[in-house]
Amino acid sequence: VRISPLREFLDGSVRIGGRPAAVAMRLRDTAGLAASLRRAFGFLGLPYDCSFRPDNGKLYCSELAWECFVAADDSTHLLRSRPMTFRTADGELPAYWSEHFAALGMPVPEGVAGTNPNDMAHDPAVEIVWRYYDE
């Protein structure tokens, strides 16, 4: 986990029509934003979690957001976690994922609770602020 200037992040993004394929989103309820930011700074320096597993001292992108956005009383996460799937719509497991997890020496974490950016983008707790590729 590290801090990157927005321009650096956007310049390194995948492109759509020559523009960064990035969307800025925010929580609809920003009451606990200061606490969420403090929580985020506490994760600086943690390694990237290429195994996508919870509670292992590593974080992947949407897991970081999930960990940061917690209710003011610390009782619940504001974004949803759900069973992960690495399968295509027709139920097939792409070779990429089988090979990826085999290289890590572990099984595919199919069904393990987790997060992904697409689910978060549709979470009712967030709203789109800006689509950079529509500039």
Whether residue 117 contacts residue 13, with contact meaning beta carbons closer than 8 Å, is answered with: no
Taking the C-alpha atoms of residue 65 and residue 126, their distance in angstroms, rounded to an integer, is 11
Q: Which helix (H) or strand (E) holds 129?
A: strand 126-131
Q: Report the alpha-carbon distance of residue 61 to residue 54 in Å, rounded.
A: 12
Cβ contacts of 129 within 8 Å, gap of 6 or more:
24, 25, 26
pLDDT for res 83: 95
Asked if residue 58 has pLDDT above 90, the reply is yes
pLDDT digits (tens, 9 = 90+) for 79-114: 999 999 999 999 999 999 999 999 999 999 999 999
- Give yes or no for a contact between 83 and 111, defined as CB atoms under 8 angstroms apart: yes
Backbone angles phi, psi at 114, to 5 degrees: -170, -165
**135 pLDDT more than 80:** no
Calculate mean pLDDT across residues 17-26.
Answer: 93
Mean pLDDT of the chain: 93
Q: Residue 3 half-sphere exposure, CB side, CA atoms within 13 Å?
A: 6
Percent of the chain with pLDDT over 70: 100
- Three-state secondary structure of 63-84: HHHHHHCECCCCCCECCCCEEC
Region 43-47: what's the mean pLDDT? 97
